[in-house]
A and B are shown apart, each in its own frame.
Chain A
């Protein structure tokens, strides 16, 4: 990467330090600006009637009683809404063969999952609207529901879409080398397992919410939105509501967590926008928790038949698997519901060197809530397939799990290189991370303790994972396939007349601290006190164009754009200062809001004074000097499809063989996210990610009955991990800067979620080893542990 390498020549002021987030004070005072806090004049509420059945024909909808109720302004059925929208289709051209029918915001003739909206009451209050729902009479004709992924593929299964010959949405086969032949050789030990991953979801503290306002005089639709990708939504609203893109403004103020849940096209939100436009007044929709559970995208839901072949000395010969994943009745628009499976096909085994690989992915329609991209898309599955199979193989050949990794992990000096599936890697550090992990966890000590405690009937286990994480994606992720999803981001930096910086960026704040690191980078690179940097994100009317928050890209891409813009502005300012001071720009620098002499450090002119000359007394400047005092830069990853990061993690667990309970005693995570901009924020990203990984491994599951009814759609019944059950999580870093940018930052947001499940499953199976059993299904609930132990049937 060529660029202003001088950025890091000076001692760094803010980058690399745990600077407290500037928005923390406001948020802790209860001054957050969340969508549901908004009250606009003439605002009404959208209250959705949702299908109680997983699969039913809608014969008729009678609104005659409901329409006259107190507070009811209007009622729209799926058919009414369909007239005002171009339906959307969740396919991408770089996923050839993926099929999904046109989807409307509300079900039109057939409801295909429990919770799909079928009608909407527009009402003076949410409560009155819920009363009115009880008076809408829908004549449903139930159709057998297809719920189990494998059953959905049988020839007798009812078809969810009549126009298709089966319930298969997509299938991809990936083959390198010749796995079957390689595994058939005499000296190869082959291990096979079926691994099941439950369906779960990302429970955001703030539920999905939108206020849509239509201003007829401007022909403008404004959507206030609790989400991740304002520009993507701007495009989608314009396209499907047949508006000019410039007449759609999407604004995201504070957002209370997203995790990938809030980066999709939801029918209830689109319908809210349509209705605001029709009624020419603001309409609010806030999902309640019940609606969240049955309409927010779910994730995972995989049944994987996996195999691995190793030689007696631990050399991995190859691995393969056949994955079936259930995605609900449609592929989600616009990211599609095939990306998770695609990631699994691409990433399984990626940390290791081996030659033979054969993987098949089957993406299957079913009558459940739509499945799509949630934090660490595909990674927990891919890492569990390879690392749990590797540890199982190690057990079979009697080898230590660390030793087998060291033998097969790509060497740290092998870069640039490629994985077996052709993923291009650079600047990774698998061995350094594993070494650091062993150093902080005292592996030898844990092994001694394990032996000792087994004698007391206490079963402890240690499990590892070595992982890669897709971060900083290039256009090859979505844009190449025709999705309106920008992989580049922009940053604008402006010096005001008082010498303060106003910066804006197209990456967004979801509570993870993006605004804080943007502020740190701008202050550091430009040279002002951090309090004097004001950050704006989330508003399509004011920020540069870009992708928003997803795929761990805020720091690596948004941060780099901010670095480049700050540096560009600095060069401009120094050029202007040089003229004013009759000095050479290369002899000047900016520090703490002052232009200084590079050599002596002497303060020459404050930024405020400089800006005042430019803005108020331009007459003092030569006529050919026209300073902008504003700079915009955009950045995209060009050299690689993705900038991979890597890490190593370990879990120490105790399995109570009487109750089946699993207690995580300690968790360690070593992560190489390149340059760490704010250690505390990175550590908290890792910890939060690990906790969501623990959720998937031990607690979280969307439980459905055979009719497709979700059984545990409440915070009392759906078990998110809570503080009491969480272990100490120790985080450490190896910093290998990516050469693709000046900043050198890779992403860090998803590693914990991607790696923790495999480490925990490995630890549990390590604990169960002396009992001659194992558990290969997540979440690893007490009942499943008891079954694995043979204590119950």
Chain B
């Protein structure tokens, strides 16, 4: 369990990072908080030629309030998100999920860019981005593009981010006064990746977005559940039951802790619990 040999670069500007990424021969991989990448390297599942440590790129840090959005630098660590007043006020769903992301020691180092860039199917933040309709700013020497979360996550550890690209920012809409949020997850032990979890947004216009994590090959929305719930101001017990019943449009995938059927069952339970908590709010 020792990483194979690699070169190490620690650039300080985005353009230097991009120059390194653009050089195919270097076989670069970005290192953010290292909480996922380092174990993968030690298991020899990741084998970068050059490790590009982006922790000194100051352009990637900081949480900024814009007119309608909040912009979060890719290198912002979970701990910073936990402490941020801006996040608490404008992105309450992030504040709701953070205590469930790993353990304090990991949150001290892990970053939002790393979580999004990794696309672990059981991670919380990709689901948060899906329901908030977040955008991911991706930069390369070819330019900057904004990718909606909806099309960004492709599969287990697979995203639309190309090898020469760098996630520079996460852009989230600010909370609107009448929006409601829901979240619930179940993990075997506190701090473990979830067996199943859900993030929910009930928008001002009563449109509902629902995204699950830990149950498929990536964070996924259930359009069937969204359609059923949308337009209802009151989340009645019957509505919640019906929502559970239509949760069939996800390709549930099992893992070591539970087969697909158990995943689906527990997904229904977390959905029910999150909706009930929203109803009681």
Q: Is the CB of B266 within 8 A of A659?
A: yes
User: B191 at the A/B interface (Cβ < 8 Å)?
Assistant: yes
User: A6 at the A/B interface (Cβ < 8 Å)?
Assistant: no
Q: Is the CB of B2 within 8 A of A127?
A: yes
Interface bits A114-126 vs B (CB < 8 Å: 1, else 0): 0000000000001
User: Which residues of chain A in 701-721 are interfacial with respect to chain B, using CB atoms and an 8 Å cutoff?
Assistant: 703, 711-712, 714, 716-717, 719, 721
User: B186 at the A/B interface (Cβ < 8 Å)?
Assistant: yes
B43, B193, B266, B272: the one contacting A782 at CB < 8 Å is B266
Cβ distance B43 to chain A, nearest Cβ, rounded Å: 7
A711 to B269, CA, bound (A): 27
Interface bits A750-775 vs B (CB < 8 Å: 1, else 0): 00000000000000000000000000
A712 to B5, CA, bound (A): 26
Counting chain B CB atoms within 10 Å of each CB, the highest count among A130, A714, A793 belongs to: A130
User: Which residues of chain A in 217-256 are interfacial with respect to chain B, using CB atoms and an 8 Å cutoff?
Assistant: none
Residues from chain A with a CB closer than 8 A to the CB of B261 are 792-793
Residues from chain B with a CB closer than 8 A to the CB of A716 are 39, 192-193
Q: Is the CB of B188 within 8 A of A719?
A: yes
User: B66 at the A/B interface (Cβ < 8 Å)?
Assistant: no
Residues from chain B with a CB closer than 8 A to the CB of A714 are 43
User: A783 at the A/B interface (Cβ < 8 Å)?
Assistant: yes
User: B190 at the A/B interface (Cβ < 8 Å)?
Assistant: yes
A783 to B43, CA, bound (A): 29
Q: Is the CB of A290 within 8 A of B1?
A: yes
User: B259 at the A/B interface (Cβ < 8 Å)?
Assistant: yes
CB nearest neighbor in B for A781: B257
Residues from chain B with a CB closer than 8 A to the CB of A660 are 262, 266
User: A609 at the A/B interface (Cβ < 8 Å)?
Assistant: no
User: Which residues of chain B in 226-245 are interfacial with respect to chain A, using CB atoms and an 8 Å cutoff?
Assistant: none
Residues from chain B with a CB closer than 8 A to the CB of A719 are 188-189, 192
Q: Is the CB of A783 within 8 A of B258?
A: yes
Cβ distance A777 to chain B, nearest Cβ, rounded Å: 15
User: B4 at the A/B interface (Cβ < 8 Å)?
Assistant: yes
A288 to B256, CA, bound (A): 22
Residues from chain A with a CB closer than 8 A to the CB of B192 are 716, 719
Q: Is the CB of A712 within 8 A of B2?
A: no
Residues from chain A with a CB closer than 8 A to the CB of B3 are 127
Interface bits A669-711 vs B (CB < 8 Å: 1, else 0): 0000000000000000000000000000001000100000001
- How many residues on A have C-beta within 8 angstroms of the other chain's C-beta atoms? 31
CB nearest neighbor in A for B258: A783
Q: Is the CB of B265 within 8 A of A791?
A: yes
Counting chain B CB atoms within 10 Å of each CB, the highest count among A661, A703, A724, A783 belongs to: A783
B4, B43, B186, B193: the one contacting A661 at CB < 8 Å is B186
Interface bits B152-195 vs A (CB < 8 Å: 1, else 0): 00000000000000000000000000000000001011111101
CB nearest neighbor in B for A130: B2
CB nearest neighbor in B for A291: B1
A724 to B257, CA, bound (A): 19
Q: Is the CB of B2 within 8 A of A699?
A: no
- How many residues on B have C-beta within 8 angstroms of the other chain's C-beta atoms? 26
Residues from chain B with a CB closer than 8 A to the CB of A722 are 189-191
Residues from chain B with a CB closer than 8 A to the CB of A782 are 188, 195, 257-258, 262, 266
Residues from chain A with a CB closer than 8 A to the CB of B44 are 130
Residues from chain B with a CB closer than 8 A to the CB of A290 are 1, 43
Residues from chain A with a CB closer than 8 A to the CB of B256 are 703, 711-712, 717
Q: A659-B269, A782-B258 are in contact. Are A699 and B188 (CB under 8 A)?
A: yes
A724 to B186, CA, bound (A): 14
Q: A127-B3, A658-B269 are in contact. Are A724 and B259 (CB under 8 A)?
A: no
User: A786 at the A/B interface (Cβ < 8 Å)?
Assistant: yes
Interface bits B1-25 vs A (CB < 8 Å: 1, else 0): 1111100000000000000000000
Q: Is the CB of A725 within 8 A of B269?
A: no
A363 to B39, CA, bound (A): 37
Q: Is the CB of B189 within 8 A of A699?
A: yes
Residues from chain B with a CB closer than 8 A to the CB of A288 are 1
User: Which residues of chain A in 409-459 are interfacial with respect to chain B, using CB atoms and an 8 Å cutoff?
Assistant: none
B1, B191, B262, B272: the one contacting A792 at CB < 8 Å is B262
Counting chain B CB atoms within 10 Å of each CB, the highest count among A131, A659, A719, A781 belongs to: A659
User: A84 at the A/B interface (Cβ < 8 Å)?
Assistant: no
Residues from chain A with a CB closer than 8 A to the CB of B189 are 699, 719, 721-722, 724-725
A781 to B2, CA, bound (A): 33
A699 to B261, CA, bound (A): 20
A131 to B262, CA, bound (A): 40
Cβ distance B97 to chain A, nearest Cβ, rounded Å: 17
User: A289 at the A/B interface (Cβ < 8 Å)?
Assistant: yes
Cβ distance B152 to chain A, nearest Cβ, rounded Å: 25
Interface bits B240-281 vs A (CB < 8 Å: 1, else 0): 000000000000000011110110011001001000000000
CB nearest neighbor in B for A288: B1
User: Which residues of chain B in 15-59 are interfacial with respect to chain A, using CB atoms and an 8 Å cutoff?
Assistant: 39, 43-44
Interface bits A122-155 vs B (CB < 8 Å: 1, else 0): 0000110011001000000000000000000000
A134, A711, A712, A724: the one contacting B191 at CB < 8 Å is A724
CB nearest neighbor in B for A131: B4
Q: Is the CB of A786 within 8 A of B262?
A: yes
Q: A661-B186, A724-B191 are in contact. Are A792 and B265 (CB under 8 A)?
A: yes
A725 to B4, CA, bound (A): 36
A721 to B189, CA, bound (A): 8
Cβ distance A94 to chain B, nearest Cβ, rounded Å: 40
A700 to B188, CA, bound (A): 11
A658 to B259, CA, bound (A): 16
Residues from chain B with a CB closer than 8 A to the CB of A783 are 257-259, 262
User: Which residues of chain A in 629-672 are interfacial with respect to chain B, using CB atoms and an 8 Å cutoff?
Assistant: 658-661
CB nearest neighbor in A for B196: A659
Cβ distance B193 to chain A, nearest Cβ, rounded Å: 8
B5, B193, B258: the one contacting A131 at CB < 8 Å is B5
Residues from chain B with a CB closer than 8 A to the CB of A717 are 256
Residues from chain B with a CB closer than 8 A to the CB of A131 are 4-5
Cβ distance B173 to chain A, nearest Cβ, rounded Å: 32
CB nearest neighbor in A for B195: A782
A659 to B265, CA, bound (A): 8
Cβ distance B216 to chain A, nearest Cβ, rounded Å: 17
Interface bits B182-217 vs A (CB < 8 Å: 1, else 0): 000010111111010000000000000000000000
A661 to B258, CA, bound (A): 12
Residues from chain A with a CB closer than 8 A to the CB of B272 are 658
A783 to B262, CA, bound (A): 6
A609 to B259, CA, bound (A): 74
Cβ distance A24 to chain B, nearest Cβ, rounded Å: 24
A290 to B1, CA, bound (A): 7
A782 to B270, CA, bound (A): 14
A240 to B3, CA, bound (A): 35
Residues from chain A with a CB closer than 8 A to the CB of B258 are 781-783
Residues from chain B with a CB closer than 8 A to the CB of A781 are 257-258
Residues from chain B with a CB closer than 8 A to the CB of A658 are 269, 272
A134 to B47, CA, bound (A): 13
Residues from chain A with a CB closer than 8 A to the CB of B188 are 699, 719, 782
Cβ distance B62 to chain A, nearest Cβ, rounded Å: 31
A374 to B278, CA, bound (A): 48
Cβ distance B172 to chain A, nearest Cβ, rounded Å: 29
Residues from chain B with a CB closer than 8 A to the CB of A712 are 256
A664 to B256, CA, bound (A): 23
A703 to B256, CA, bound (A): 8
A131 to B189, CA, bound (A): 35
A656 to B116, CA, bound (A): 32
Residues from chain B with a CB closer than 8 A to the CB of A725 are 189-190
Which B residues contact A (CB, under 8 angstroms)? 1-5, 39, 43-44, 186, 188-193, 195, 256-259, 261-262, 265-266, 269, 272
Q: List 9 A-B contacts (CB under 8 A).
A: A130-B4, A131-B4, A659-B266, A699-B189, A714-B43, A716-B39, A782-B262, A786-B265, A792-B261
> Would you list the 3 A-B pairs with minimal beta carbon distance, nearest first?
A724-B190, A127-B2, A288-B1
In the complex, given contacts A714-B43, A717-B256, what are 4 additional A-B residue pairs having Cβ atoms less than 8 angstroms apart? A126-B2, A661-B186, A724-B189, A781-B258
